[in-house]
Amino acid sequence: MIDQNTQRAEAHSFDEAMALQPQGSGRWQGLAHPGYQNMVGPFGGITAAQALKAVLLHPDRLGEPVSLTVNFAAAIDPALPFTIQAVPVRTNRSTQHWTLSMVQRDAMGEEPIVLTGTAVTAKRRTTWSAVDAVMPPVPAPQTLPRVPVVSHLEWLKRYDFRLCAGSLPVHWDDAEADSLTQLWMRDDPPRPIDFCSLTACADAFFPRVWLRRARMTPAGTVSMTVYIHVGTAELEASGTRYLLGQARAQSYFNGYFDQSAQLWNETGHLLATTHQIVYFKE
Amino acid sequence: MIDQNTQRAEAHSFDEAMALQPQGSGRWQGLAHPGYQNMVGPFGGITAAQALKAVLLHPDRLGEPVSLTVNFAAAIDPALPFTIQAVPVRTNRSTQHWTLSMVQRDAMGEEPIVLTGTAVTAKRRTTWSAVDAVMPPVPAPQTLPRVPVVSHLEWLKRYDFRLCAGSLPVHWDDAEADSLTQLWMRDDPPRPIDFCSLTACADAFFPRVWLRRARMTPAGTVSMTVYIHVGTAELEASGTRYLLGQARAQSYFNGYFDQSAQLWNETGHLLATTHQIVYFKE
């Protein structure tokens, strides 16, 4: 465990990525973090986390996040700052509805949209609670080898992955298989999990179509939704320990497949369920 | 099958509900249809379908719907018209990103938000396709009795439901159970399925928490996402036949539970997968 009271010499790269600059009126400026660079633009999970961060930073926010949907409308240029606008468009007694957009000003002074989204925050009350999606029986993360990063993709180096089932194919031989992956994950270096890093983890699975087909076709998330099933107290209890992620696809049809996933903490609390629809080329 | 070339004496109530009036600039006016009235305001599925209809009606639309997220921000007043705004905020070569909002002008002339949303439409190309979420073995709808409508809720009368598993509890005795429901559904009278009616069906399941707990607690959908895994051709092939819906919950935590569901046509094609997060009182 990291002692949070210790002054650390270096900021965590995740915290650097979440450091948005207030521009007033619910607008924040940020920049893609080089440590989370993906194939084209930044890792989508970090972008989704930045969008949620804008909601969490908003002075008018009511409660904690319950639901987040982000739509990746265009590749984010890592060389240009972006502006996130978070607007609390409707505030009820216990829920608040947000719209989100991210733009990048280009050389022409235009501000094309690169992300759209919505979020719901809520003041939760203590109610009857239960987890129906029980954590599958898997080996403890400490007993599993860390997945070596053989890729040049920077963002993969920011995570410690321990695979239980459903690795990337060893042979890309078009041998069709199941789309299920189960893997432990945590930030590297370890960092206490929070709503933003949980959101990033929701996008940490490689494209299901690669596993399903043993074929590496270009793929990219179009829309991702995260439902959060914890409050701050339960997140804090998760500390810097691993999350177990489980992901599978249900349909692949003419260029788009879906992915449904769960994220549990080590004690088996279901922290989040998440869904996405992903473009694939062929 | 209904012969679509036959002039019908009466419009289908679903088509009446989808009859939005163009107001220009991507704005449409509509009204909650009395035939789809739910406990408080209209059935959420019909509202989601109306939001999608605004996208489909838009003259600048590219392709067919792939993803829709709607957030129910407030109860819709069935006595007042509403205005839906659909904006194509980003159009790429093969995908288009939409923002959606619905407002109702009140007596003070204010226009509070009652719904937010986003959608993605896309020009699909023919690719390798597969269904991983295989339709479960269930009896054919014709062999099952129609679920009698014992409720006063109007919208239930607009559907023909045939239950395979997971009915509403007979005894509301707090006997905890599984949250799985499988049921056949179609419009009554039968109507060829389209993107809007498919979207409505995605919200046709009663709240999972009622089944799970055998306790009728107030509940209402906060956010719903629908991923569409068919094009117009596959929908037309589904005709007026039944859809099999399967729904279950994964987590119930301090006032909110999730629901994940699938909708197959009678031949086992997975037409849509859908997810929602739902408020429950206790």
Is some CB atom of chain B closer than 8 A to the CB atom of A210?
A: no
- Write the CA distances from B80 to B31, B53, B101, B104, integer angstroms: 7, 19, 16, 7
Residues of chain B with pLDDT under 50: 1-5
Of B225, B248, B251, which has the smallest distance from its Cβ to A225's Cβ?
A: B225
Q: Of chain B residues 260-279, which have a CB less than 8 A from chain A?
A: 260, 262, 270, 273, 275, 277, 279
Is some CB atom of chain A closer than 8 A to the CB atom of B225?
A: yes
User: Minimal Cα–Cα distance from B88 to chain A, Å?
Assistant: 10
User: Minimal Cα–Cα distance from B71 to chain A, Å?
Assistant: 8
User: According to the CATH classification, is domain B139-219+229-282 in 2.40.160.210?
Assistant: yes
**pTM reported for the whole predicted model:** 0.96
pLDDT of residue B125: 96
Nearest to B227 by CA among A203, A255, A262: A255
Is some CB atom of chain A closer than 8 A to the CB atom of B227?
A: yes
Of B99, B116, B126, which has the smallest distance from its Cβ to A254's Cβ?
A: B126
- Domain edges within chain A: 13-123+141-280
Reported ipTM exceeds the 0.85 cut: yes
Give every CB contact of residue B108 below 8 A, 6+ residues apart in sequence.
Answer: none
pLDDT of residue A9: 62
Is some CB atom of chain A closer than 8 A to the CB atom of B255?
A: yes
Q: What is the CATH number of domain B13-124?
A: 2.40.160.210
Nearest CA in chain A to B177: A132
pLDDT of residue A151: 82
pLDDT of residue B11: 93
Of A114, A118, A250, which has the smallest distance from its Cβ to B116's Cβ?
A: A118
Q: What is the CATH number of domain A13-123+141-280?
A: 2.40.160.210
Task: List pLDDT tens digits, range A78-132.
Answer: 999 999 999 999 999 999 999 999 999 988 889 999 999 999 999 999 999 999 9
CA distance A149 to B259: 35
**Contact: A256, B124; criterion CB under 8 Å:** yes
**CB environment B52-76: b (16+ within 10 A), e (fewer):** bbbbbebeebbebbbbbbbbbbbeb
Is some CB atom of chain A closer than 8 A to the CB atom of B37?
A: no
Retrieve residue B65's tokens: 């719907």
pLDDT of residue B177: 85
Retrieve residue A125's tokens: 């009350």
Residues of chain A with pLDDT under 70: 1-9
Retrieve residue B18's tokens: 């989808």
Nearest to A199 by CA among A114, A115, A274: A274
Neighbours of A9 (CB within 10 A): 5
pLDDT of residue A1: 41
User: Minimal Cα–Cα distance from B12 to chain A, Å?
Assistant: 30
pLDDT of residue A231: 97
Neighbours of A196 (CB within 10 A): 23
Give every CB contact of residue A194 below 8 A, 6+ residues apart in sequence.
Answer: A235
